[in-house]
Amino acid sequence: MYKGSCLCGEVTYQLKSEPKKVSHCHCTMCQKQHGAAFATYASLLKTDLEYLSGKEQLVSYNSSNSIIRKFCGQCGSSLEWCGSKDFPDWTSIAIGTLDTPYTDDCIVDIYTDTKVSWLIHQSPNKA
Ligand SMILES: [Zn+2]
Ligand SMILES: [Zn+2]
């Protein structure tokens, strides 16, 4: 069981299953929203993400088409990415907010066309 929280601690959540797919997303929207080189998201069934507190603090931003990005309205932590029409039952959680250590190193890099040039990314899978 994984648990996580936002920076201010108002929003807490737990994952009721092992995340299915984890990716470092280098798209420009993730860079902007996270203020970082990339965002790391884990996919899981919507029903397996349970907010334990602070759900009313969540603010939704519609970044493109059906995609909703949710963040804490108090501290700004990015938490959830959802609304994909291809995967309506799925959501993604920003695993930088996990309090439980995540140890799987099978993380794929996506949208690397827009990867920032200043990122020195040391992945065990890559030279
Ligand atoms: Zn917060
Ligand atoms: Zn992205």
Residue numbers of the domain that contains 44: 2-114
Residue 49 lies in a domain: yes
Ligand nearest to the CA of 36: 2
Instruction: Kindly report the pTM of this predicted structure.
Output: 0.89
Residue 119 domain-assigned (yes or no): no
Distance from the CA of 5 to the center of ligand 1, in angstroms? 8
How many A from CA of 28 to the centre of ligand 2?
A: 7
The whole-angstrom separation of Cα 38 and Cα 24 is: 6
What ligand is nearest to the CA atom of residue 111?
2
Is residue 94 situated within a structural domain?
yes
Contact 102, 122 (CB under 8 A): no
**Number of compact structural domains in the chain:** 1
pLDDT at 105: 77
Q: Using alpha carbons only, what angle is made at residue 16 by residues 100 and 84, rounded to the nearest 5 degrees?
A: 100
Rounded CA gap, 7 and 94, in Å?
12
For residue 117, the one-letter residue type is S
SS3 assignment, position 76:
coil
Span 38-75, pLDDT tens digits: 999 999 999 999 999 999 999 999 999 899 999 999 99
CATH code for the domain of 73: 2.170.150.70
Contact between 112 and 67 (Cβ < 8 Å): no
Q: Tell me the pLDDT band of 122, cut-offs 50, 70 and 90.
A: low
